[in-house]
Amino acid sequence: MINVKELEKDKCSVSLKGDMDIYKATEFKQEIEKIYTKYKSFVFDLSEISEIDTSCFQVLLQLKRECKKDDKEMQMVSHSQAILEVFELYGMESFFGDAVLLTSAVNDQVC
């Protein structure tokens, strides 16, 4: 599920919830296309993503590239375990430029 909420005139929050897989990739991309021209800053809350596959990860990658090209801001916060695993798998932790806070569950696995 994708929920968009305006935070300020040019800034919105995008909350993603549940499985972000190939079955949701088209909907995800269409929702982003609807709001992209309206806002200059996007904050993605990733805390409730239970799974993410390559198709939805590619939507995030494309959006990050578009934001850089168009001088817009994209921030990701509250990374779920599923997001952290995909970032690590593809070596993309630093690409997005967001601080990643490890939860105690992640810390227990790392230690």
DSSP 74-111: EEEES--HHHHHHHHHHT-TTTS----PPPHHHHHHH-
Could you list the pLDDT tens digit for every one of the 111 residues in the chain?
Answer: 889 999 999 999 999 999 999 999 999 999 999 999 999 999 999 999 999 999 999 999 999 999 999 999 999 999 999 998 988 888 887 777 666 655 444 444 444
Residue type, 57: F
Q: Classify domain 2-110 at the CATH topology level.
A: Transcription Regulator spoIIAA (3.30.750)
pTM: 0.82
DSSP strand pairing (2-8 vs 11-20): antiparallel
Give the long-range contacts of residues 102-110, CB within 8 A, separation 24 or more: 105/81, 106/81
